[in-house]
Amino acid sequence: MKALHIAIKDLLITLRDWQGMLIFLVMPMVLTAILGAAMNSNFTDAPSLGQFEMALIDEDDGELAVALRAVLDTPLLKSLIRVIEMTEAEAIDRIAAGKLQVALVVPQGFTSSVYAGNDASLMVLKEAGSSLRPMVVQGIANSFVEYVSAGRIAASLAVRQAMLGSSNIDPMQTAGHIVEQLHALILQFREEVAEPHRSLISAFQYYAAAMAVMFMMSAGGVGLESIAVEKRNLTWERLMASPTSPVYMILGKFLTVLLVNSLQFMVLMLGTTLLYKVSWGDNMLMVVAAGVCYAVAVSGLSLLVAALLPLSKAGLGVWEIGVQACAALGGSMVPLIIFPKVLQQMARLSPNFWGIRMFTALMGGETLQLTHVLPLLAIGTVALCIGAGHLVFKQRSA
């Protein structure tokens, strides 16, 4: 209860100084508009449906090429990619003419190469300058090759069995077999790279989420600042002289950031919905719950930094630098897909990554999953525990 009273008092002070909070509301709205408009073409021409054309050049004419066609024919990928078959020369012409952005080549001998246990790969041709779509195709190609290579023994066994059992090889059966397992892989791939559904959402949606997570973290500095002010004003001392355990003080500050962040999120969500017609998802309650989960991560981190850093202007400066770094690393500035693989992996260190992943999933029509919220809740709780432990220890040994 005391923790809640501490937070309510902080919230009251924060709201009295509402001009100070304005920047955390206006800036993300403005940046969402600018970045959303600027990056829209990078996402998809039709914001609501991110389908694009891809040429398929089959020089192999083997079983695996058939299997690949079957993969591309799954509803999941069909909604994203419209496949047109043509020759390599045709594709190169079209790309040169600017009529096509990307082509996927199944080279001659691909199937036999894989069955023989040799290295084999699919080739992606792309228009110079476009990066996002070729990357999607490259991702699909890589997953496919990875799968069939890893499963090449099983595949060749299946083929041999088919050859022994009947004189006719049924490529469709083999494809069906692979697709079945590839489906799971693609789902996972879609999860990890988050590309297909990112393409299904508009740039405005993406940046509404990206800016919200960035500026919510920025507003987390309120927690640091209010601790610094309490120490300076000696209200912290007065509280420590009262029969209030330092644990309440820390929980109170955690709640302060949580409340400020949650309010901020709701304003941003309503603002982007009304002004930019951004759809955050079908279930408002779920979206708000997601916002609160992200706020938990920010609140925990704010306390952790407050505990570890000297509480001064410099401390706040370090927080702001951290906010920028997390934003860049986690995909708040530019979508992760244009980063190299290593950076895409490192993005997981940034709460922004998990926040954007969660919000874009909701925007793409998914429901809120444990895998969305757990990383954020874990960041928040671990940071809170370390931060609180450290602060209490510092207080006890003053």
Partner 1 sequence: MILEVKNLSKSFKDKKAVDQISFGVKEGEAYGLLGPNGAGKSTTIGMIFGLLKPTTGEVVVNGFPLIKQPEQAKSCMGYVPQEIALYPELTATENLTYWGRMYGLGGAKLAQRVAEVLQIVGLSDRAKSTIETFSGGMKRRVNIAAALLHEPKVLIMDEPTVGVDPQSRNHILETVKKLNAAGLTIVYTSHYMEEVEFLCTRIGIIDHGKIIAEGTVPELRRIVGEVATLVLQVSSLPEGLLATLHGLSELNTVAATLEVLQITAGDAAQALAAVTQVLADYRVKLRSVDIKEANLEAVFLHLTGRALRD
What residues make contact with partner 1 under the rule CB under 8 A?
Answer: 2, 5, 9, 12-13, 16-17, 233-235, 237-245, 396-398
Element (H, E) at 105: strand 102-106
Answer yes or no: are the C-beta atoms of 196 and 361 closer than 8 Å: no
Q: How far is the CB of 328 from partner 1 (least distance, A)?
A: 35
Cβ atoms < 10 Å from Cβ of 319: 22
Type of residue numbered 359: F
Structure tokens at 15: 């709201």
Q: Which is nearer to partner 1, 86 or 240 (CB)?
A: 240
Structure tokens at 242: 């009262």
Q: How far is the CB of 248 from partner 1 (least distance, A)?
A: 9
Answer yes or no: are the C-beta atoms of 176 and 20 closer than 8 Å: no
Q: How far is the CB of 283 from partner 1 (least distance, A)?
A: 37
Answer yes or no: are the C-beta atoms of 298 and 351 closer than 8 Å: yes
Q: How far is the CB of 76 from partner 1 (least distance, A)?
A: 54
Q: Which is nearer to partner 1, 9 or 183 (CB)?
A: 9
Q: Which is nearer to partner 1, 158 or 229 (CB)?
A: 229
Tallying the residues shown for the chain, one arrives at 398
Q: Which is nearer to partner 1, 167 or 397 (CB)?
A: 397
Nearest CA among 200, 174, 195 for reference residue 344 = 195
Q: Which is nearer to partner 1, 128 or 398 (CB)?
A: 398
3-state secondary structure 161-179: HHHHHCCCCCHHHHHHHHH
Q: How far is the CB of 187 from partner 1 (least distance, A)?
A: 52
Answer yes or no: are the C-beta atoms of 217 and 352 closer than 8 Å: yes
Answer yes or no: are the C-beta atoms of 190 and 196 closer than 8 Å: yes
Q: How far is the CB of 191 from partner 1 (least distance, A)?
A: 46
Q: Which is nearer to partner 1, 175 or 260 (CB)?
A: 260
